[in-house]
Structure 1
Amino acid sequence: MQGSARMFVSVPVEVTDTMRDAVRELTQIKNVRASREDQIHITLCFMGDVDTSRVPALKEALRDALSDSERFDLCIRGMGAFPNIRRPRVIWMGIENEHLAHLADAVRSAVRKARVGFDGKPFSPHVTVCRVQGPADVSSIAGRYADTEFSKFTVGSVHLMKSVLGPDGAKHSVVDTIPLRPAGGE
């Protein structure tokens, strides 16, 4: 393999009608653009450009690090924005689960072991549902959805993803799927 690929590790998300309805409402606001539904995920570790010669070692390190990780239930609840609700650039839905942070730690350890760099930002579990390109007042909608449960599902796998930037935004594709073990030895 030659060159590099923009990569990250993620958990796939089960998109619900409640999520779709909230996003539809948000996109009625000028300058707010929805994330493509088939691209919705929870990023555990963003590596950026990875030398493709490192990908086999990265796959192996991820599989080793996650071999004892069990499936777990996850809840997507609430809404907010980065950097803040007054000047949003990203609109997100929140995550309620401590297991996710442990999974992110294991993934980051694996990435280090594979000698691949990553962004090093503190893990902030969220689902990006919209991007904002200019001034937008989303505070009333975000406030209405602050306690809404958008989705509840079992995390059964982790994906190593490749991302290609284009004029219509990033297009993600799965490079490898690492299944998690059934909980409690089911």
Structure 2
Amino acid sequence: MIFSIIGWVATVIYLANHIALSINRKHRGRLYFLLNLIAACGLTASSLVLQSWQAVAINIFWAVVSFLSLIGRHTGTDFRLSDRALTWPVWLLGGGGLVYTIIAPTQGLAALGWAATLLFCGAYLLFSARTIRRRRFLLYNVAAAFGVAPILYIDGNWPAFGLEIAWGTISLIGFLNALRSVPQADGTGRN
């Protein structure tokens, strides 16, 4: 019971922080990383109890990146990061998982969940290193949240499942708003 409460509190912290990022393009300071660290630790604990391994992996990774960002270690700046290096294995694993779902639904959804886990972790690393901008980060979060949700449902990890459904929706709204607020360079609608 206590781990469920911890999971739900962490979910609320994550969502409040993600809403702030989705509506405020400047929300990426120390408070952002501190709240992500707190939420990641809480959801790691509750997901460990449920043996919901994709959620454990995502949240441990987010905790490490958040901690490194808080102490001033600019994750990813010591080596060249590229979102192309992130996306092709994700699409390959995710597409394979979707195809495999026809033969073995649970295993296929688990593979899709691992692809989404990789996308979540890679996108957060790229975003914290300032390699990708907020709009692309939000787009990757839409795909990752809705990709990992089915396996969380199967695992019965309700705090993480609720988080991903809300996270994906918030990310989609934030992405669409970011598309509408793109500055127009010459008044013709072109950038």
The verdict on a shared fold, with TM-score over 0.5 as the criterion, is no
Q: Which has the higher contact order (CA 8 A, sep 6+)?
A: 1
TM-score (normalised: structure 1) = 0.30
Q: Which has the higher helix share?
A: 2
TM-score (normalised: structure 2) = 0.30
